[in-house]
């Protein structure tokens, strides 16, 4: 009988241990769910406060530039860099890599080439050569830059 009693006691103890494990696991899950909900609430509050303080608006200057012409702001910046490089004739044409290095751009030369090619399609930039391709501003590109600068000065 003693062996049967011991086996029953062991089974009872094992059941208690299993119940305790289930309870602690459920408690942990409840605790983690509460923490997750609290973090969500804090995130939403933080996001709302950020939107209130900063507003959900774009820079006025970027809106002024992009609204006045059909040239997107990022490509317009490349036009300005070409103008600063004095790349307005074939003799002073520059490559995408030269622009990247000279102005410490955080874009790959491939990305810069693609944007310059898009400007070439718009007839604002012209390219020459095979490898590396050299780019320079066209008279139309210079006109767009001057027009943008005049418009920006008028709004300020």
Distance CA 24, CA 8 (A): 24
Regarding whether 69 and 7 lie in a shared domain, the answer is: no
Q: What is the reported pTM?
A: 0.51
For position 118, which CATH number holds? Answer: 1.10.10.10
Q: Minimal CA–CA distance to 137: which of 100, 91, 101? A: 91
Regarding whether 53 and 28 lie in a shared domain, the answer is: yes
Residue 123 in contact with residue 140, Cβ under 8 Å? Answer: yes
pLDDT by 10s per residue, the chain, length 156: 588 888 888 888 888 888 887 778 888 888 889 888 888 888 888 877 777 776 555 444 444 444 445 567 777 788 888 888 888 888 888 888 888 888 888 888 888 888 888 888 888 888 888 788 898 888 988 888 888 877 766 666
Regarding whether 114 and 44 lie in a shared domain, the answer is: no
Domain membership of residue 148 as a residue range? 60-155
96 CB-near residues (< 8 Å, 6+ apart) = 109, 110, 112, 113, 116, 132, 133, 135
């Amino acid at each position: 009988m003693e062996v049967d009693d011991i086996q029953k006691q062991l089974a009872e103890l094992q059941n208690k241990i299993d119940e305790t494990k289930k309870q602690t696991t459920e408690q942990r899950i409840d605790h983690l769910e509460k923490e997750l909900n609290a973090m969500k609430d804090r995130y939403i509050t933080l996001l709302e406060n950020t939107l209130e303080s900063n507003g959900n608006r774009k820079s006025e200057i970027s809106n002024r530039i992009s609204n006045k012409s059909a040239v997107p702001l990022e490509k317009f910046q490349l036009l300005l860099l070409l103008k600063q490089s004095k790349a307005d004739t074939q003799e002073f044409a520059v490559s995408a890599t030269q622009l990247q290095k000279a102005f410490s751009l955080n874009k790959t030369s491939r990305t810069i080439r693609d944007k310059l090619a898009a400007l070439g399609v718009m007839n604002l930039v012209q390219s020459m050569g095979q490898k590396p391709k050299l780019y320079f501003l066209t008279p139309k590109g210079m006109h767009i830059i001057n027009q943008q600068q005049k418009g920006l000065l008028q709004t300020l």
